[in-house]
Amino acid sequence: GQNIDQPTEMTATEGAIVQINCTYQTSGFNGLFWYQQHAGEAPTFLSYNVLDGLEEKGRFSSFLSRSKGYSYLLLKELQMKDSASYLCAVRDRSGGNNRKLIWGLGTSLAVNP
Amino acid sequence: EAQVTQNPRYLITVTGKKLTVTCSQNMNHEYMSWYRQDPGLGLRQIYYSMNVEVTDKGDVPEGYKVSRKEKRNFPLILESPSPNQTSLYFCASSLGSGTGAADTQYFGPGTRLTVL
């Protein structure tokens, strides 16, 4: 079946580095997305991986291992505004909708001063 | 500015009173989708549309209807709302290619619906 797991909550300190893990099971993997969602707001796109390896975008990096069904989002130099929920989503081309995203429940990150 | 808009942003209604939540995108996207988000359940897809006049059920379609008469608009209709449809609703759109980072989904600001 299709499944995505990520930790429910994490806490980190301002200025530190935090890694948010995501493991997935899907039969038609076609890319993995990370989104950021502040409370009560819309998810916004952070990063995309489809090949194994690390993608870096400023303070944010995302890693993918397709053989392990594993990804992580790395946030460096944490700021208070990074307190949000981080959603892992896998695009799955099996089934009738090859644009469909399978969503994790999100990891709520609290950044403390 | 490229965006997805939704209206209304907040709505309190009563059981059984038909309502429509509008969604519009100005990016010429082919693929549009409606989600609901509930605590502990995450984002769940209600309906999606691959293009004009092409719509299909997502994971939780019961109690909802959609239409796609124009490429830019994808309204969500609740014919007879019930309290279990109280939720935060998001409309999203994407190019529709099904590949690459360019096919990321862009979300509207959300509609918080309360059904009494």
Contact between A30 and B107 using a beta-carbon 8 Å cutoff: no
Instruction: Among A30, A99, A103, select the one facing B43 at the smallest CB separation.
Output: A103
Interface test with A, best of B107, B111, B112, B113 (most A CBs within 10 A): B107
pLDDT at position B105, please? 92
pLDDT band at A65 (very low <50, low <70, confident <90, very high): very high
Does the CA dihedral B29-A89-A63-B4 come out positive or negative? positive
On whether the CB atoms of residues B6 and B110 are closer than 8 A, the answer is yes
Tell me the sheet residues that pair with A90.
Answer: A32, A102
Which of B3, B5, B11 lies closest to B24, judged by CA?
B5
pLDDT at position A1, please? 66
Tell me the sheet residues that pair with A3.
Answer: A25
Task: Please compute the mean of the pLDDT values over residues A13-18 and round it to a whole number.
Answer: 97
pLDDT band at A96 (very low <50, low <70, confident <90, very high): confident
Does residue B52 sit in helix, strand or coil? coil
Instruction: Among A30, A97, A105, select the one facing B56 at the smallest CB separation.
Output: A97
**Mean pLDDT, chain A, whole residue set:** 94
Which of A15, A109, A91, A31 lies closest to A66, judged by CA?
A31
Q: Across the 116 residues of chain B, what is the mean pLDDT of every consecutive 10-residue run?
A: 94 97 96 96 95 93 97 97 98 85 90 97
Q: Which residues of A touch B110 (CB under 8 A)?
A: 40-42
- pLDDT at residue A9 tops 70: yes
**CA separation for the pair B1, B14 (Å, rounded):** 35
- pLDDT at residue A59 tops 90: yes
pLDDT at position B103, please? 82
Phi-psi map region of B100: left, alpha, beta (phi>0 left; psi -120 to 50 alpha): left
The 10s digit of each residue's pLDDT in A74-92 is 999 999 999 999 999 999 8
On whether the CB atoms of residues A44 and A77 are closer than 8 A, the answer is no
pLDDT band at A94 (very low <50, low <70, confident <90, very high): confident
- pLDDT at residue A98 tops 90: no
Which of A89, A110, A78 lies closest to A8, judged by CA?
A110
